[in-house]
Amino acid sequence: MKKNKVIYYNDELNDEFSTAVIEPRIIDEKYKYKHSFIWECFSALIQNVLSIPIKWCYLKFKFGHKFIGREKYKECKDTGFFIYSNHTQAFSDTFTTSMSVLPKRNYLIVHPANISVKPFGGLVELLGAIPIPGNVTATKKFMDVIEDRVVNKKQSITIYPEAHIWPYYVGIRNFKTVSFTYPIKLNKPVFCVTNTYQKNNNSSKVKMVSYIDGPFYPDMNLSKKDAQKKLRDMVYEKMVERARNSNVEVVKYIKNIDNLTNMNDNSNVEKSERN
């Protein structure tokens, strides 16, 4: 990607800048969230053995990648937990969280589009993708597998609360509290991984540095809604703090003022017509 590219956006909650155009499959009651013992063994082999050299090389050679704070996971080595990360790369975002928790297995809650391209969809599932369900019946199975991974198997699950990919974005976009339902429901700790872009003194390439923070614990004395908001705010504030370490802006994102002006003009016209 060329430096100093400019992207105009309208809505930081909903705009998507991934270049992939994929028709997502429907995740209904027919989708198989739980798999056989053999499938699980093969998945573990791919996740935590065969794919590791590829992930390491990709992060190291493309970004000169570095983790800061991996030792913080030690407090929760005997329990499952959730990881919240900003979403600025299609591949490396999944690699950073998975590599950071080794030897613990990490799973990723993803949009159905991520498993919809044949024959790669099956490989993505083997690598830990858990697609978001499309109906009530599928949601029950979805929640069951999340509980099994985190509570029973003491593994980790990554969530991207920003939802949409904004390549090389150096800030933290506002995100909703809804993705914090899981740690509140299961009373499990939370970590955040903030990927930043920094100058590389040894290369002209941009260096990615991932900051790991936590654990943040749910306040079970609060109502579900208030507990979600409190947890969300703790994670958001820490990620915003870490994002300030970015000192290279490969892509500049600018709010589309024209659209805002048009909206205000239309609003003024409507008010004038009413008067």
User: What does the pLDDT read at residue 266?
Assistant: 44
pLDDT < 50 stretches in the chain: 1-2, 260-275
User: What does the pLDDT read at residue 20?
Assistant: 64
User: What does the pLDDT read at residue 267?
Assistant: 44
Of 115, 123, 124, the C-alpha closest to 26 is 115
**Rounded CA gap, 89 and 17, in Å?**
10
User: What does the pLDDT read at residue 40?
Assistant: 94
User: What does the pLDDT read at residue 262?
Assistant: 45
**Rounded CA gap, 90 and 106, in Å?**
17
Separation in Å, CA 19 to CA 32, 43, 130, 164: 28, 28, 22, 11
Q: Are 12 and 173 in contact (CB under 8 A)?
A: yes
pLDDT digits (tens, 9 = 90+) for 61-80: 999 999 999 999 999 999 99
Region of residue 29 (phi > 0: left; psi between -120 and 50: alpha; otherwise: beta): alpha
Q: Are 198 and 207 in contact (CB under 8 A)?
A: yes
Model-level pTM?
0.88
Ramachandran angles phi, psi of 83, nearest 5°: -120, 130
Q: Which two tokens stand for residue 191?
A: 């970590």
